[in-house]
């Protein structure tokens, strides 16, 4: 049986950590420059929602840093989903077809992350379309792949290695559950609120928490791989 090694866990952890570092470092760099962001976009985005992740990173010197970190992150994500497929096959917890579907969805998300990052900062119509659908398919493909992974692993959390993997699987489940709860709330928020400015802030808060949970899920997967190695 092929097991994921320590290096595999490091790669998957970096696939989760780099997007977190990129978004926050780009925002802080733009804040420190004093000219990349207007005063209205300066806040604690997880609570106030004055700025979206894209707005925080798509201008100034922060944009360059964001691209430098996110493009390698996309490559790491592609590799991470390959390792997920290999892990599922080695653990014999699902069919080869299911593991292929999960990894293919995740890899699709990584490919569209490249489109999103390369279009960020450009304002013509083609790049706006590329940026919009790039981020939708990046989030959508990744979130769906993570959900299917949880669907397979959750019933087996006590059986795998005598329950040793229960904690990372539980953490992964909580993070994926948070993503989908935020997604449902995002869809339904217009039924609860009418103020456009408030809706924008709520959308921004959801985006920051959603992106954080999705990235942390890869660190939970890395933890799972490390215990399995």
Structure confidence by residue, pLDDT tens digits, 181-213:
999 999 888 888 889 999 999 999 999 999 999
Distance separating the N- and C-terminal Cα atoms of the chain? 11
Indicate if the pLDDT at residue 161 is higher than 60.
Answer: no
Residue 84 in domain:
yes
Residue 77 in domain:
yes
Residue 142 in domain:
yes
Residue 1 in domain:
no
What integer best gives the mean pLDDT of the chain?
Answer: 88
Residue 18 in domain:
yes
d(CA 224, CA 8): 11
Residue 125 in domain:
yes
Residue 145 in domain:
yes
**Which residues constitute the domain of residue 213?**
6-228
pTM of whole model > 0.75?
A: yes
d(CA 224, CA 44): 32
d(CA 40, CA 60): 16
CB atoms within 10 A of CB 116: 21
- Domain total for the chain? 1
Confidence of residue 1 (pLDDT cuts 50, 70, 90): very low
Q: What is the pLDDT of residues 44-75, one digit of tens each?
A: 999 999 999 988 888 888 899 999 999 999 99
Residue 98 in domain:
yes
Nearest CA-CA partner of 182 in 203, 157, 166, 151: 203
Whether the Cβ atoms of residue 176 and residue 218 lie closer than 8 Å to each other: no
The conformation of residue 121, written as its DSSP 8-state character, comes to: T
């Amino acid at each position: 049986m092929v097991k994921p090694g320590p290096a595999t866990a490091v790669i998957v952890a970096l696939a989760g950590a780099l997007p977190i570092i990129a978004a926050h470092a780009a925002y802080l760099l733009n804040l420190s420059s004093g000219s990349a962001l207007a005063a209205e976009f300066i806040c604690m985005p997880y609570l106030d929602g004055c700025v979206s992740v894209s707005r925080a990173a798509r201008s100034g010197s922060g944009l360059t840093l964001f691209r430098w970190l996110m493009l390698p992150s996309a490559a790491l994500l592609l590799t991470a989903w390959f390792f997920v497929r290999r892990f599922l096959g080695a653990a014999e917890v699902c069919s080869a077809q299911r593991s292929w579907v999960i990894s293919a969805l995740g890899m699709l998300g990584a490919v569209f992350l490249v489109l999103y990052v390369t279009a960020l900062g450009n304002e013509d119509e083609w790049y706006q379309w590329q940026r919009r659908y790039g981020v939708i398919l990046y989030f959508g493909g990744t979130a769906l792949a993570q959900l299917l992974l949880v669907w397979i692993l959750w019933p087996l959390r006590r059986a795998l290695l005598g329950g040793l993997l229960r904690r990372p699987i539980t953490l992964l489940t909580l993070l994926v559950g948070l993503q989908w709860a935020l997604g449902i709330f995002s869809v339904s928020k217009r039924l609860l609120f009418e103020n456009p400015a408030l809706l924008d802030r709520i959308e921004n808060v959801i985006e920051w928490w959603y992106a954080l949970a999705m990235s942390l899920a890869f660190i939970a997967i890395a933890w799972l791989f490390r215990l399995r190695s």
